[in-house]
Amino acid sequence: MAMITTVQQHILQQQTEITGKEASGTFSWLLSGITLAAKMIEAKIRAAGLSDIVGAYGAENVQGEQQQKLDVYANQALLHCLGLRDSVAALVSEEDAEPVTFNRDPETGKYIIVFDPLDGSSNIDVNVNVGTIFSVLRRLPPEHGTLEESLLQPGVRQVAAGYVVYGPSTVLVYSSGNGVHSFTLDSSIGAFVLSGEHLRMPEQGGYYSANEANAGSWPAEYRAFLETVRSGGLGREYSSRYVGSLVADFHRTLLKGGIFLYPPTAKAPQGKLRLLYEANPLAFLAEQAGGLATTGSGRILELRPEGIHQRTPFCFGSRHEMDALARAVRA
C-alpha cells in the first residue's frame, strides 16, 4: 500500500522540522477549517448543474458586484468552519462589509484569516474553473496594536497563504514560508493528499495573461510592454491565456511560468483586484516559488493596507518577464 501524506500531516511535519519541537497541532487544526470548507464547496460545485445553486443570488456584495448563489454558500461555509476554531480572532471576507470578530483572549485567538470565498464565481454558469484564496495573519500583541490594526498588516507579515482551485481535480496550494506545496483532493478517502513539494515557477514561461479588452485604457508603458511581449521582444514567442478566474490564471503561471498583468485602467485607476485577500496571498506564493509580484512599480507585499477592501494593480510571474516589466514601467 502506497504511503500518503495529508495536508494536516505535512503541516505538522514542517512545524516540527522548523522549530525542532513537537508541533502543538494548533495551526494544523486551524487549516483543517479551510480544508473542510473547501470540501463542502467542492461538493456543491460538482452538483451545481443538478441543484438550484447556479445563478445570481439577487443581491450585491460590498464591492458592488452581483453575488452568485455559490458566493453566498462558500462564504457561509468558511465563516462556519473557521469560526469554530478557538485560535481565530477575526475573519475578513470579500463578501462582507465588515470583519467578523470573536471576543477571544489574545493568547488564544492568535490568528486572522482573510479570504475570497469563491474567486471567479461568475464563471460557474459556464463550468469554468473557480477557486478559494486565503491569507493567515498573526494577531498583534495588545501592546503593539489593536485587533483592528492587526487586520491591516502588510503582506510581508503573512504567516501562511494559499488557494484551492476547483477544476478537473481539486487542488490546494499552500505555503507557510518554507516553499510552496500542493495537495490534491482524493475523494475516495476525503482528504487532501500531498502531490507536489517545493514547487518552483520557471525562470521564463511561454504565456502571457491579461484582459486585453481593457488594454486601450492602460497606461502607455503597459501597452508598450504588451506589444513587446507579443512581438517576441523578450526573446521567445508567447501564447495568450486568460481564464478570468484569478486562481486559475495564477495556478497556470505557477506551473508553466510567464506573466499575468492587471494594470490600472481609466475606470479603475487604483487597480481592481483586492490587496488583502487576492494580491497578498498570491504574491506570497509567487515569491515563495521563485517568482515576483508587484503593482507594476513596487513589491505587493510591502504595501501597507488602508482598508480591508483596498484595491491594487497586480502583476505577477516569472523573473525574466517581471524584470522586463519593471524596466518598461521605469522607462
Which residues, including other chains, have CB under 8 Å from residue 6's CB and lie 6 or more apart?
Answer: 183, 191, 192, 193, 194
Name the fold adopted by 207-330: D-Maltodextrin-Binding Protein; domain 2 (3.40.190)
Name the fold adopted by 7-196: Fructose-1,6-Bisphosphatase; Chain A, domain 1 (3.30.540)
d(CA 254, CA 18): 25
Q: Do domains 7-196 and 207-330 have the same CATH topology?
A: no
Sequence spans of domains, the chain? 7-196, 207-330
Task: Write out the three cell numbers for 304.
Answer: 501597507
Task: Write out the three cell numbers for 303.
Answer: 504595501
Written as tens digits, the pLDDT of the chain (331 aa) is: 568 999 989 988 887 776 555 556 788 889 999 999 999 999 998 886 545 555 454 455 556 555 678 889 999 999 999 999 999 999 999 999 999 999 888 888 999 999 999 998 878 778 889 999 999 999 999 899 899 999 999 999 999 999 999 999 999 999 999 999 999 999 999 999 999 999 999 999 999 999 999 999 999 999 999 999 999 999 999 999 999 999 999 999 999 999 999 999 999 999 999 999 999 999 999 999 999 999 998 999 999 999 999 999 999 999 999 999 999 998 7
Q: Do 223 and 215 contact (CB within 8 A), yes or no? A: yes
Q: Is 70 helix (H, G, I), strand (E, B) or coil?
A: helix
pTM metric for this prediction: 0.93
Task: Write out the three cell numbers for 267.
Answer: 475606470
